[in-house]
Amino acid sequence: MTARKGFSLIELMVAIMILTVAILGLAASSAVATQMIGAGGRHTLAASVAQSRFEMLRRGGCATLAAGSSYTRGVSESWQVDSIRSSAFITARVTYQTRRGPRTQTFRSVRPC
């Protein structure tokens, strides 16, 4: 008898199973990557809102600095100003929604007076 060239049915089924597992792993990792990209966008938005607040407070004089709160682009923010000698310490707390519920980040800055 002469030997046939090619794949047996069992070899083909094993190859399909390995390919299926690899594709499922790729799909799962792409879903996680998409979630992480969305979370990164929310973190960036929170940092941007805090940075904008710091810039607005730096524009005015030290005598006009005051605490307050605001709601901007789906992000709730509150800020506090503490003056010590020749500097103003500004603390901004930014709260935004994530898949796991609200998250609060605190940012701090110093403004020389």
Kindly report, residue by residue over 1-15, the tens digit of the pLDDT: 566 777 788 988 999
Say yes or no to pLDDT of 63 above 70.
yes
φ and ψ at 38, to 5 degrees?
A: -65, -40
56-64 average pLDDT score = 83
Q: Is the pLDDT of residue 88 over 90?
A: no
Over range 2-29, report the average pLDDT.
88
Residue 22 has pLDDT above 90, yes or no: yes
Query: What ranges do the domains of the chain cover?
Result: 9-112
Query: What is the strand order of the sheet 87-98 is part of?
Result: 68-72, 75-84, 87-98, 101-112
